[in-house]
Structure 1
């Protein structure tokens, strides 16, 4: 009897949740005045897109080599800068290292603020400050990487064995010496893994950043879409997919064989 009652209660909860989700969906559609008939009415445009998309403009590939290299270099540079600054900042954001609640709170608040800023907004801000170009993309990726990796590192530090730290403290070691000798050896491999993960994410993100003028192959994709050159769009997407696949394979190989 209890089993049936439990099943009925769970079923009621699930149906109630589905009902609430459907209501919220309908309300959201009503508020934004979504006209779903446009999907069927614009089927001709979809046909035009598919006709061009299924015929990649292979002759355009030579013009994509430089933007593709720029995208990779942006990702590498931005990831490197972000990780380099994230490591000391994450250490300062951990009480185990600083033994100072104020400094820890200050840095963690800063991390939280950085992570709340979307990539595209960061890119738009840097475009307004610096202008359109690859430097904007590098700085955007660096700030994003800093926020993400610093969070991962200080969360990892909080789980380490404090025995070596207490041993160093007992002999009068400085906070810097403790960080280098007792903390870093325990988190180093994780930091390398976080850096590789950030690089994978940044390669994909750098494509989107091109839409706001942050350089790379994303600019070419935005231009091709603006002029409805769907054959070029198809080729660019193929190149991006290959680039992302190669990046993921290299990262996985390094994690498996090196780290």
Structure 2
């Protein structure tokens, strides 16, 4: 398949950018990488977005535990050692419908974007370090004033309006499209990890930000999982604070470059 390269050779590279620059590999697909301590792992490389060299890392936020297989990343949790091993500058995000085969991820995605501000240098070079500076914990601070950074994004699929439209209609009035945001805190002082495609302007972030501290006081236990309050007014109804079914049933894939 021209869209997918399954590479069984192990490269002496810590990230997909090295695979592209050092070994001349230019096709999207599965590659083996090696950490600084010699751990070999398989991951997906996006070799086309903004010059290529993007390494798939994560579906979990803050610790060094790794799990899952890259082929199953759209139907199960996945995180590889590159999450904490790679020193990156930027990141890319794909929202891909659940159970999509790896060779169709790019075409099936409902949203794709990347940063180009080299912002990760300011926060230790990866999300593991960023979330040490901005821990995703209950009662760690107040909404807005203690949120983490919001970084402008470049859209590869979608735009500001289409991004806001996958979240609930009530959410649109308190966020701004065109950003990726980190450690957003809600009115009840519960922290979420990432606001994909938007910057919070209010305190109802549980309805449009993903990942969480594990405890959300409001209407406990209604808010749970990575999509904490996305089904507040019914699952996939796209009314009130409920996100679209398309958003709820997509995996969020995070890449470094």
Greater helix share, structure number? 1
> What is the TM-score when the length of structure 1 is the normalising length?
0.23
Greater strand share, structure number? 2
- Pick 1 or 2: higher relative contact order, CA cutoff 8 A, min separation 6: 1
Larger Rg, first or second structure (1 or 2)? 1
> What is the TM-score when the length of structure 2 is the normalising length?
0.23
